[in-house]
Each structure stands twice: as structure tokens, then as C-alpha cells.
Amino acid sequence: MITTDILIIGAGPVGLFTVFEAGLLKLRCHLIDALPQPGGQCAEIYPKKPIYDIPAYPEVMAGDLIDNLMKQIEPFKPTFTLGESAVTIDETEDGQFIVTTDKGSQHKAPVVAIAGGLGVFTPRKPPIPNITEFEDKGIKYIVKDPEEFRDQKVVISGGGDTALDWTIYFAEELNCDVTMVHRSESFRAHLDSVQKVMNMAESGKLKLMVNSEVKALNGNGKLDEVVIKTKAGEVFNEKVDTWLPLFGLTPKLGPIADWGLEIEKGAIKVDNATDYRTNREGIYAIGDVNTYPGKLKLILCGFHEATIMVQSAFKRIHPNKNNVLKYTTVNGVHGFEE
């Protein structure tokens, strides 16, 4: 049984920053995450994509943001259970919580902070019968390391920002032979990105096929060819090294949805007027996993929620202690360590 002061479900940026704020109050933290490494979406889905709305960083790569957060929390020595999903939560008679993972690991704490982002992500897959045969054998649903696609012949399907961003990047930066396929003539993306793709197609830097869809896949153990069909009925066979069907990811709360928490539209309702507590005393939800009037799903907002939440957690853990706010500019970080 792993024991701690605050058990954090989710090791994304908000979960990691919670460790820092808790450390300033001399509270120990343990984090559980289904991914094999800390960082959540920033590490798993888009580590090489820039983020522009982190204070004091005009631009920072998502992966670098995680590296910086990990360095920031080093003095407080958090512990992790990675590659395991939190499945059940039980409450003891003395108000403690025991969280058990899918691999049987058990964790005990008086406070649970759910910082699971948007939940467990599964890719939206097109309805092609043999698509699973080529997953990781020529089909990728997310781009972790763009360099692995350098100089390849790549087909990208989709009409959102992610599809257009990678189309532009692959063609400009990775010397890829890119074909973009979209089932409509209208896009769900920033107008400047759409215009850039149009301009690149006109100049021959990439191939753009609208009113078209990938309908079939061919290959022997590895994807060799995609079959593209237009709305007019034309059929084209395109040789490929990689096909990226970028139709988005579907988030689900997973087992957390069965923890007796109040759920609204796939998110956990919290009281933002106080401290982001859920309807279960001692359980909080912060970051993209929660919802309340005026909620904004931004990393910045999650950092704020974590800061307020740990103040409440301190009062629950130490009801007879007074917490006097101390500034890091006065004490430094190491002044808060045990």
C-alpha cells in the first residue's frame, strides 16, 4: 500500500504543477497515470507542437513544458505509478481513500485530486474493415516524433487544425511527398492554415484532394497503398509509406465515471466558488477533466485550479494547523522543503 498526502490521478501538466503547489505546503504527492511516462497529452500526443499561452513563454514546445515542470517539482520528490489506470476508489471509516489500479496496485491518501485531462483518448477510426491489420505497420493516429516520417510518402486524412498543421510541417520541414485527403471542400481549421495549404497545393509542394476519402487499404504485412475515392466516383490508388487518418481523438472518463461523482457532458462537476471540490468530500477535480460555469479548458486555468485546490487540501489534512501564505520570492523553493 502506497501512502501519501495527496493522491493525484493524472500526471499531465496540471497534475505535475499540483506537486509544486503542494510541496510549498509540505504536502507529499503520489501520481497515477495510465501512460508509461509523465506529461499526459503534451508528452504522448503532441510533444513537438508549440504552445503559445503559457505565461513568460512566447512559445514553448509541449514536451519542453513537461521537462520544465519535472525539473520544477524535483525538490519535492514526488513518486509515481505509471502505466497503470486508476480503476476503483474506496473510502475508509476514518475518511481516507484507497485507489486501486488495473494492475492491483493500491494507494491510500486523505485527499484525491483528479487531474486526468480529458480522460482516456481513443482515435476516431474510419470504417475500413482491415484497418487494424496495418496499425503501427503504416498507419499512425498521432504524431509523436515527426522525424520518423522524414522523406516519406505520406497521405494525411482530415480537415481540422491538426491535419493541416502536420500537412504543412511535413511538406515544408521534413521533405515529405504529402497528399492531403479531405471529404469536403470546407475545413474546420484556422483560415491562414487553410490558405497556406491551398497555396502549397497550387505551387506543387503537396497534393490536395478534396471531396475525397480513403476507402480501402492494400498491403502484405505492411501498408503499401491507399485507395482514394472521390464523390464523383473516381478511384485513385496511392502508394504510401504512412497513412495518417487524423480525425481527432475521443475522450472518455473511463472508470472514474463510476466513482459516484456528479458528471455533466463527460466532465466532473466541481464547485469553483470555493476550491474545485466534487460532490464527494475530499475528492477534487482540476484541469480539463472538470466543468463549472465559465470553464475554460486551458493549461493556464488548470494551474490556477491546482493552486486553490491544495490550499483546501491542506485544511482537510491538517485541520488544526494554520497555513500562512509564504512567497517563493522571499523563501525560495528550498525553503519549503522538509
Which residues contribute to the annotated binding site for FAD?
33, 41, 46, 86, 121, 288, 329
CA dihedral of residues 56, 60, 62, 68 (deg, nearest 10): -60
Cα 11 from Cα 25, distance rounded (Å): 19
CA distance 125 to 305: 34
Q: How many CB atoms lie within 10 A of CB 258?
A: 12
Location of C-alpha cell 492494400:
218
C-alpha cell at 82: 505509471
- Give the amino acid at 289: V
Q: Does residue 80 sit in helix, strand or coil?
A: strand
Cell readout for 194 is 487553410
Residues forming the annotated binding site? 33, 41, 46, 86, 121, 288, 329
The whole-angstrom separation of Cα 240 and Cα 248 is 21
Give the residue from 136, 106, 124, 137 showing the smallest Cα distance to 163. 124
Instruction: Indicate the length of the chain as a whole number.
Output: 338
What does the alpha-carbon distance between residue 123 and residue 44 come to, in Å, rounded to a whole number?
Answer: 13
Helix 13-24 to helix 62-73 angle, to the nearest 10 degrees?
20
Contacts for 59 with CB less than 8 Å, ≥ 6 apart: 50, 51, 52
Could you tell me whether strands 106-109 and 97-101 are parallel, antiparallel, or unpaired per DSSP bridges? antiparallel
Amino acid code (one letter) for 282: G
